[in-house]
Amino acid sequence: MGFYTATEISASGLSAERLAMDVIANNIANANTTRTPQGGAFKRQLVVFAQKPGATESSSDPFDPFKPEKAQVEGVQVLGIVQDQSPDRLVFDPGNPDADARGYVHYPNVQIVKEMVDMMAASRAYQANVAAITENRNMNNAAMQLLKS
């Protein structure tokens, strides 16, 4: 474990949460987009996170069943951005040029309240990572001061 490992882990979280907030903002901006270049209504997008695997620690005794190998986590990574496959929101508006044959307009599957809750959660996670970086820096500075004296 290196001197800056905790900072690197938190930095990966900052990057991932920033992308999540960008995707959420895009969802909110397109909440009423009924026609996209791909055709049809805009589809809500979701960010898929995963643990960034690190080195594996093994116990001193390979036959000890109570000390299994532990994989170290090196942060978070974004696997990709996927479309939410939930159905579109249908609104009866036969006069709308985007209405289908039955008179329904297909609006995006974006719920503003849900997006705002997701935005708040991403923002809080971002703030937590900033706080972790700040505390790690303070601890490193304190360690350096101890080493100087």
Q: Dihedral angle at the C-alpha atoms of 54, 58, 63, 64, nearest 10 degrees?
A: -100
Q: What angle do CA 99, 32, 89 make, to 5 degrees?
A: 60
Q: Cα dihedral sign for 22, 27, 33, 34?
A: positive
Q: Hey, what amino acid is at 148?
A: K
Q: Provide the whole-model pTM.
A: 0.81
CA distance 122 to 81: 15
Predicted confidence (pLDDT) per residue in 3-62, tens digit:
678 889 999 999 999 999 999 999 999 999 999 998 899 999 999 999 987 755 555 555
Predicted confidence (pLDDT) per residue in 79-103, tens digit:
999 999 999 999 999 999 999 999 9
- The answer to whether residues 13 and 75 touch, using CB atoms and an 8 Å cutoff, is yes
